[in-house]
Structure 1
Amino acid sequence: MSAADAALRERITELSVHIPCGGLRGPVQLPTRSPSDRGVRWQSCRHENHPVVWGDADVSRERDLCIICLRATAGGRSRWSWLACQDCRAVNSAVEAAWGFRPFALGRHSVMNGFGVRAGAPPEVQQRQIERLTDFADGIGRLLKWRKHEYRRLAGHFDPQADVPLRVWQQELPPGPRASRDAFARLIGPEYPLPLP
Structure 2
Amino acid sequence: MIKSNKITKISLGLLALLFSANLLAHGGAAGTDTDQCKFELEKDHWLHYTAYQPNSFPAEEFCASLPKLNEKIMLVFDYQDNKYRNDTVEFEVTKEPEGKRVFFLAGAKHKKGTVELVLPEGVPEAGKYLIHITLVPDQGERLDAHMSFSAGGGAATAKTTYALYALGLVGALYMGYLSSAGFKRKVDDIIAKIVS
Fold shared by both chains (TM-score > 0.5): no
Structure ranking higher on relative contact order (CA contacts 8 Å, 6+ apart): 1
How high is the TM-score relative to the length of structure 2? 0.22
